[in-house]
Amino acid sequence: MGSLRHGFTRTGNRIGVWLHRVARGRLDSGPGTQVLMVTSPGRRTGVPRSTMVRFLEHDGGYVVWGSGSGSPTDPDWFRNLRRTERARIEIGTRGLDVRPQVLTGAERDRVWREVVLAQVPGVAKYERKAGRTIPVAVLRPVSDRA
């Protein structure tokens, strides 16, 4: 059942990325839900991998979390994010280079509780289902100008 669910998730993600690219980001977000496309190198292959994820704006960056819809393991896109110093995001028609900061300890717990659960309380069910701590990262825009 786990591999079947993973296959559905992978197919759903491919459709989401395809739709984002075809519609040039105009159909990504709806009332109460904001999504972005994050592209980072695969941790084993280095090949760029893109996925659509929910996000929340916070403190000059974009908070993302790897619930994997309650999967017992962290999603591949989050594991890739952990291994890179730079990624690319697209929000609607706007693209940005970002530096991922994976949060840990008390900082992770505070952002999870005060930002994610405060604004999207329904994700708590995924943490219960997964039986693991859901990882949280802040994607901060980078400037090439020094």
Q: Which CATH class is domain 2-141?
A: mainly beta
CB contact burial 88-123 (16+ within 10 A = b; e otherwise): ebbbbeeebebebeebeeeebeebbeebbeeebeeb
26 pLDDT tier (thresholds 50, 70, 90): very low
What pLDDT is recorded for position 59? 93
Dump pLDDT digits (tens) for 43-75. Answer: 999 899 999 999 999 999 999 999 998 999 999
Averaged pLDDT, 91-96: 92
CA dist 136 and 125 (Å) reads 16
Q: Which two tokens mark 38?
A: 């994050």
What pLDDT is recorded for position 114? 98
Q: Is the pLDDT of residue 20 over 50?
A: no
What pLDDT is recorded for position 33? 78
The mean of the pLDDT values for the chain is 84
